[in-house]
Every structure is written in C-alpha cells, then in structure tokens.
Structure 1
Amino acid sequence: MSPVSPLAAPLRGVVPPVCTPLTPQGEVDTDALARLVEHLVGSGVHGLFALGSTGEVAYLTDAQRAAALGAVVEAAAGRVPVLAGVIDTTTARVAQHARTAAELGADALVATAPFYTRTHPKEIAAHFRDLRTAVDLPLFAYDIPVAVHSKLTPGLVRELAADGTLAGLKDSSGDEGSLRRLLVALGGREGRATGPAPHFAVLTGSELTVDSALLAGCDGVVPGLGNVDPAGYVRLYEAARAGDFGLAAKEQERLVELFGMVDCGPESEMGRSSSALGSFKAALWLLGLVDCPATARPQIPLGEAAVAEVAERLRAAGLVPTR
C-alpha cells in the first residue's frame, strides 16, 4: 500500500467537524446541512470532517449517518475533501461503515481505536491495518482517549504513518506533550518533509491551542467551534503559515473567549457534551444557518437563559445573531 494520499499531501488547514442539524423530530435536516456546508466552504475551510464527535456520530443510526454524509458530499461538490467518520466499537463494524462511506463518495476515512473493551497496542495496530486493507481510501486515526479509553502513543502512530497505514491523525487527546513528541518523532517542525512519513498530516483537535500547535509543526486543526466561526480559524491558520504568530495569537485569544459558550449549559441540569454541542447548535440557529438547535437524545437541549448567553458570546466575538 502506498503512503501517498490522493488528498493534499499532507492534508493542511482548517477542517471543521461538521455539525449534523436535526429536525424537531430528531431526523437529519439535509437542507440545513447543505447550507452549513456552503457557509463553511465559503469561509475558506480546507476540508470537512463529517460524522465526527461534533457531528454526533455516536448518537445517529446507520441510516442517519448515511443521510448526513451523503448530504455533506453532495454539498461540498468536490471543492474540498470530505473525511468521513466511521467510528464504532469493532473492526468489522467500522469496516462496514467504511464501505458505506466509500460508496457515498467520501475522500478519506477517520477511525478511532476499537473500544468498549480495552485493547492492546498490537490489536489497535491490526485494527487500523485491517481497515486500510478493507477499503482503499486514506485513513486518519482519531485519538480521543476520553471516549475510547485508549491513548495512541507517538511510537504506534509513527509506525503506522511510516508504513502507509495512516494518512494522518486528529489529536483530541488533550496531551500536548505526547503530540509534541509525535511531531519530533516525525522529524520536528523543520524536518517533517524529509522525515519517516512526509505525507502524514497531524491535525490538532483543540480549539484553544491552535496557534501553539501550528508553531510546533502541526498541519492544521479540526475545530468544533469552526462550525460557528470558520473564518476566524482560517485567519488564525493563515497568520500562522505566514509566520505572524502575534496575529495568530490575537485571533486565538478571541476564539478562546468565544469557546466559553460550551459552558453555558448549567452543570446541575446537563452533561458537558450536551452543553458543548447544544451551544454550537444554538449558535448556528442564532446565526440563521440551521432551522432548529435540537441535539440527539439523550442529550438535553439548552434552555432560554443558556441560549441568551450564547448570543452574548457571539456578539462579543463580532458575530451578529440574526435571531
């Protein structure tokens, strides 16, 4: 198998994990999803990650997953690559999602380590290799130990990058030290192009440390908040690429304040996932990009007071609600 991806090698830039708008009845709103994709692409993003955590992939049925991914692929219309989340517990289940994603026109796949039971690094490596063999699309690893209870080590990622199994990594581990060790193992900020995996993309999943991650050598970011303010993340990325880390830091600090919306939901009433995803969807509703801010059950939607706080965050960040 070749380590060279048909995507930009490596994939670079801002790749938002696309929210999945729902109707009041809980079905995928494909019209609103198409509008959201147009908003993201029109803001200059470099790719789209459908069916990620921000897309509520774990809450959707297989039919809903297919409807959402098909709508994103159709709306993107080849203008940017579409990465499809194929997240599930076992290799067989993930491979089934991967085949569906390929049929729907996805440009690449994104998978976590297997989960429910804890798995050994050798089992995790076999999982990714089996997936890469099963479906001939570039495969990105999604490191999110808070959800799957396994941390992808720098050594394992380097191995799978060097042998062509993986085309890239989305790092949502929150372990900045591990991420930096991986970048060094791949050649460091200045040596990635001649390192052991020159076509491998390292993307941070942290909305709050993009400037420092790009300075360290990351290729881009997959920000949930990028649904709400994609242009802000594009400005941040472009400033960092131009070497203007002062401007990048200024944009990052504004986005940190905006990100405070994820805590608008009261802890006494809802989980932190409900609050975060609910705030993104409330923001999209306030901005007139989706028709309904519903989240998938059993998540609890934001109340009126929390939505009003999201609106204040938008105004403070220079984004003007239309509702």
Structure 2
Amino acid sequence: MTMPDPAGPASTPAAGGPSALTGVIPPVCTPMTPDHEVDTRSLTRLVDHLLAGGVDALFVLGSSSEVAYLPDAHRRAVLDTVVGHVAGQVPVLAGVIDMTTPRVLDHARTALDAGVSGLVATAPFYTRTHPEEIRTHFRLIAARTGLPLYAYDLPVSVHTKLPAALLLELAAEGVLAGVKDSSGDDGGLREVILGRVPGFSVLTGSEVTVDSALWMGADGVVPGLGNVDPHGYVRLAACAGRGEWEAARQEQERLVRLFEIVRVGGARMGGSSSGLGAFKAALYLRGIIDCPVTAPPQVPLNDDEIASVGKHLAAAGLL
C-alpha cells in the first residue's frame, strides 16, 4: 500500500499517476479518562490492536474520533500520541475538520508539525456555502500545506453533498488525492469511481456495503466498526482483492450483524451517542481501552446497553 505523491496538491498527476491509498483505514476512536481527558495509554493499545489487525493506514480526528467534541489541546494530544507511536509503520491521516478555511488551516499547521502523512477535510459548514467557495476551500488547504488532501463527503453533518464533478475536477488539478465517501449515495460513488484520474483514491465510509463498493472499484474502506474488528475488515478486503466475492459477502454479512451494536441506545439518545458509545463499549469489553466514556454532551450507555454490546461481540466471535 502506497501513499500518493506528497507533491500531489502542487501538480497534476503524470501519465500513469501515483498509486492510490488503498485498503482498510480505520477512523481511530479517542479513548478518554473518566474526567474526559485523552487516555493516551489506551490510545496506544488501540493503535497496536489496529496494527495487529493488519490495517493499511490510520485516520485520526474523524467522526469516530469524536473530533467535533475535542478541544484543540486534545486534538494535539491525539496527533502526537498516534504519530509518535506508529513511528512510520503505516501512514497516518489527520482530520482537520472545522467550519471555515482559516480554522481548518490552523488545524492543518498543527497536523503538519506532528508529522502526519495526509489531511482530511470536509466542505465548510455552518456558513451557507456555494460550490465555488467549496472549490476555493480545498484549493487553499492544498496550496498552503503541500500534503495529500482527502475530501470527506459527509452531507449528514455538513449539509453539503460534494458533487462528483467537483471532486473529479479537483482530482484532475492535483488538489485532491482522494475522497472518503460517507454520503450514502452509491450512484454518486460509482460516478466518481468511473471518472477518477490515476492516483485518486476512492474510499467508502460505509461499514455495511464494503463488498459492493470494492466490487464497483473503490480502493478501500474507512470503517468506524474497524476499531472493534479490524481483522474482519482486513479479511473482507483480502477476499475482494482475490476476487473471492462469496467469501467477501459472508464476511460482510457477519460485520453487518456486528454493526447492530450502534443501535443499542435506541431512542434514548442520539445516533452519535449510541454509535460512538457502542464502539467504545466494545473496545472496553475486549480489554483494549480502560473506560468507555464519551465526550459530553453525549448520553452514556447504561449497564444493560453495554451488556447488549457484549452479546453482539460474543455472537461475532470477539469475546
């Protein structure tokens, strides 16, 4: 697995192009202490768990990292801990997610100082943005940083769907090295796959349709559930890479059943609380992190809900 040419944002890919980022790239959860500080010891154990699972890269400070809840000092602690502990074994991508370009550039400078391999940014949000402003946003980040830049298509959170035409235009310019598609728009995903330039990496953010995305030609997956079961996603990707689609489907269906943990909170809490709480509860039950707490104001899972997560883990062969 190789990273795109670091000079990518400054130049158009040459004929043949650099290799795309491929494989399984978990968006790393951020373990916390009971008083909501970053638990760096648990974080390094989680990184070791992911590396032992055979993942191809790590993505810190994304949605599954609770980036929206982390103050700047906590973001820096995550970056320093993960980049330092990985020590070049795999690429580390950093989310530089914030509302507008100046704030994103502040996060990007911190990530550059920490030594990350690439950056991940959404479209601007809170403000009402025009496609031309989104285009300028990504161009400025790429020009000011010089690192491979990946667009994060997350309309449920930023209220803007990144059009395939815009992504492909910025890819052809060398501004974008890839996209993490968490839009749920399979037609749009296929349009990007069909139109991509060499070296542009198309990554699905859906835990439950990885086999179909890889069959369409996606380069990899960024699965939040991969924190809990990295080995499963690595097996799925390996089956797909060998063209063993029935085996890939069977592994995907096992992971779909495991993904039911995100619903244990039911109507008692928001989807973020239920999903991130379930990932952390699973990591806690597996002995990987010390505490399943999530950042406020998320509602914590109760003992019965954590026990329900344990039953799903047992059914998946993980306890």
TM class, shorter-length: over 0.9
1:140 aligns with 2:150: yes
Aligned to 1:319: 318
Q: Tell me the percent identity.
A: 60
Amino acid at match of 1:2: S
Contact 2:13 2:172 in 1 (8 A): no
Q: 1:85 aligns with which of 90, 95, 104?
A: 95
Q: What corresponds to 1:234 in structure 2?
A: 234
CA distance in 1, matches of 2:175, 2:266: 42
Q: SS in structure 2 opposite 1:110?
A: strand
* Equivalent residues in 2 for 1:52-71, closer than 5 Å: 52-71=62-81
Amino acid at match of 1:237: A
Match of 2:130 among 110, 120, 139: 120
Aligned pair 1:225/2:225, yes or no?
yes
Q: Is 1:210 the equivalent of 2:227? A: no
Match for 1:245: what amino acid? W
SS of structure 2 residue aligned to 1:49: strand
Aligned-partner residue type, residue 139 of structure 2: R
In the alignment, what sits opposite 1:306? 305
TM superposition score normalised by structure 1: 0.94
Secondary structure of the 2:93 match is strand
Q: Which amino acid aligns with 2:305?
A: A
* In 2, Cα distance between equivalents of 1:239 and 1:130: 39
Maintained 8 Å contact 2:94/2:119: yes
Give me the whole-angstrom Cα distance separating, in 2, the residues matched to 1:253 and 1:65. 34
Confirm or deny: 8 A CA contact 1:144 1:171 kept in the other structure: yes
Moved more, 71-80 or 54-63: 71-80
Match of 1:154 in 2: 164
- How far residue 80 of structure 1 moved from its aligned partner, in angstroms, is 0.5
CA contact (8 A) 1:45 1:234 kept: yes
Runs (4+) off by over 3 Å? none
TM value normalised by structure 2: 0.95
For residues 58-104 of structure 1, what are the alpha-carbon distances to aligned partners after superposition, in whole Å with 9 as ceiling and x for unaligned? 00000000001111111211010000000000000001100100000
**Correspondence 1:44-59 to 2 at 5 A:** 44-59=54-69
Shift, 1:3, TM fit = 4.4
Query: What is the Cα-based RMSD across aligned positions, in Å?
Result: 1.2
- Structure 1 residues 3 and 37: alpha-carbon distance in aligned structure 2, compared to 1, 3 A threshold: farther
- Segments of structure 1 that go 5 or more residues without pairing to the other structure are 187-196
The match for 2:11 among 2, 20, 33 is 2
User: Residues 292-311 of structure 1, C-alpha deviation per residue, up to 9 Å, x if partnerless?
Assistant: 00000000110011101100
Partner Cα distance (2:59, 2:276) in 1: 16
Cα distance, 1:2 vs structure 2: 2.4
Q: 1:236 to 1:3 in 2, by over 3 A?
A: farther
SS at match of 1:54: helix
